[in-house]
Structure 1
Amino acid sequence: MTSTWLPPEEFAATLPKATAFACLFFTDEQERPVQLRAVYSRSHPWQWPGGGMEEGERPWETALRECREETGIVHDGPPRLLTTVFGLPGRKWPYSSIGFVFDGGRLTAGQIRRIALDPAEHDDVRALPLDRWRNLMPPQDFARLEAAMEARRTGTATYFDTWDWGD
């Protein structure tokens, strides 16, 4: 550890870099997770409405904007954090990832039918029992889904820190 003072811009250059995302987690009325199938990611095919934070945006604002863009749903509930996600960089991506999973609540069958997917991003929406998701997603994605479900069930936010990009 050095005790040399650095101007803020020089100090900032020494810090680890990270990207941030935010999303909304929905279930249907039977508590089955609702997910969207991404057309651009074979390694992470099932996702929640959400995406990368834009300049000047806060996580809750990102979750609402991305949900509206990806599904047409205009969510008006209060921000309730379910899970914070962290991943270390790897060969496939040079930055850490920090994510915020907010509770979007429960959707009726009619609301799910009216979801308007952006075909450039997603081609399917499904509500399935938790155990049925296991074979449709990589283990780390399923573990993250379980963490969100546990947070919803208990009312206590979870910390999920195995979202690493890997080598």
Structure 2
Amino acid sequence: MANTWLPPAQYVDTLPRATAYACLHFTDTAGRPLQLKATYTTESWQWPGGNMDPGETPWETAVRECREETGIVFAGRPRLLGTHFVTDRGEDWPANHIGFIFDGGELTDGQVAGIVLDPEEHSEYRLQTLEEWQREMSPRDFLRLAEIDRARRSGATVYVETGPAAV
């Protein structure tokens, strides 16, 4: 197929598939990361966020999903902390998964107290130190959290891959 021109729709059919998600990473005033416990997946702890809808940008997704899942109306500007590439979601998921994790900043005690979860998606939220999170999360999921937290503290953007060979 080298050097063979294809109409765009046919060319796109030859490319790998990927879905995308976007989320916001928050901490409290003590620097402890916020995560939500999902009711619908084995990856039980996650940031406020979700899969992109058609026509949405990653930033729009992160802000919308945060509002829907926590009640937090985020009005800050986009600051990308990192991207996450998931190489293996199982045989029943025919695409890679790419995540965009943005900095949600620091939540005040009042903002934390005002979190309202969607009970169909999340059963609880927690703010814990990285050491506490490490005891509760799989190594694969904790790697993602630790790298994003490091990015936030250092000001550098990170790229994280998780999959069967990554952890």
Deviates more, 1:144-153 or 1:81-90: 81-90
TM-score by length of 2: 0.94
TM-score (norm 1): 0.94
Shift of 1:110: 1.8
| 1:96 corresponds to | 96
1:63 is aligned to 62
Matching of residue 130 in structure 1 with residue 151 in structure 2: no
Q: Which residue type is aligned with residue 152 of structure 1?
A: R
Gaps of 5+ in 1: none
How large is the RMSD of aligned CA atoms in angstroms? 1.6
2:77 corresponds in structure 1 to: 78
Percent identity, please: 55
Give the letter for the 1:84 counterpart: T
Aligned residue pairs, count: 165
Tell me the residue number matched to 2:49. Answer: 50
Distance 2:104 2:40 in 1: 24
CA distance in 1, matches of 2:153, 2:163: 22
Q: What is the DSSP-based 3-state SS (H/G/I as helix, E as strand, rest coil) of the residue aligned with 1:12? A: helix
What is the rounded CA distance, in whole Å, between the counterparts of 1:34 and 1:54 in structure 2?
Answer: 24
Q: Which residue of 2 aligns with 1:157?
A: 157
Distance 1:65 1:163 in 2: 27
Where does the alignment leave 5 or more consecutive residues of structure 2 unmatched? none
